[in-house]
Homo-oligomer: A and B are copies of this chain.
């Protein structure tokens, strides 16, 4: 079976890991958001791609949710001593990824080629593909004005109310090689990532939303909202400030035209009826993955839906 996962950071990475465990040698493609990508200290940083790759490689810091396990921060401390702004945590080992990525991009390689090489170096089996090799940058409109994504998310710790989103370059960005093919998989899963910050910029790439609408396989979304709260990050606040219901039903309404099946948490079982009324098949289960066993269990349930 061919499976494709559309993913942002942590939630997407965990489900990618679960699907990899469940699928074994079968083909998994993870299409990853690049709207969070940034340049710091002259280095090209792709936080969502790295979270997915590190998690699939078993190298990620599970407790913290980002970065590598057992990191040190000697280079960052030295950058600070040199007067650099070091609000964005970059570990010594993580920096090697950014150094290699930056050098290869500067040599003219595409982000998708560099990502494939980095993933292979780390022993990752699934195909990890950026949504686009072109420029696409998420900006967040707030009462304090338009903020770059990392400024909003890390710099200001996503404390600002989100009034709107802007995906710079989206009109011109073409899907990276393999993205449209991947949407023709037997199962396409929208990870329990932030619908606005992770999935939306991915769908904003030219032709991706259309390809998902027309996808021939089974399309399943997992709600990132459980019991009216986000597992992680600002999804709940953004649903609210953008005028959506802060619930799995609110998420289902956003995804109603894009998927066949909505997976909601058992704590939200009372929403199964209203979600079904949107014309969606509803699957109620424990969606909070935690460690590898929980990830694999959820992944197997998703595979059974296809």
A residues whose Cβ falls under 8 Å from a Cβ of B: 41-43, 71-72, 74-79, 81-84, 91-97, 99-100, 102-104, 106-107, 117-118, 121-122
Give A107 to B39 CA distance when docked, in angstroms.
13
Give A74 to B95 CA distance when docked, in angstroms.
9
Evaluate whether A74 and B92 lie within 8 angstroms (CB atoms) in the complex, with A82-B118, A83-B121, A121-B81 already known.
yes
A42, B92: Cβ atoms closer than 8 Å: no
Interface of A is mostly: helix
Give A94 to B99 CA distance when docked, in angstroms.
14
Q: Which of B72, B74, B84, B117 contacts A100 (CB 8 A)?
A: B84
Q: Chain copies in the assembly? A: 2
Give A41 to B107 CA distance when docked, in angstroms.
11
B75, A93: Cβ atoms closer than 8 Å: yes
B43, A82: Cβ atoms closer than 8 Å: no
Give A83 to B95 CA distance when docked, in angstroms.
14
Ranked 3 nearest A-B pairs via Cβ: A42-B103, A78-B96, A74-B92
A89 to chain B, nearest CB (A): 14
Residues of chain B lying within 8 A (CB to CB) of residue A121? 81-83
Task: Give A91's nearest chain B residue, CB to CB.
Answer: B74
Give A118 to B96 CA distance when docked, in angstroms.
22
Residues of chain B lying within 8 A (CB to CB) of residue A71? 74
A42, B106: Cβ atoms closer than 8 Å: yes
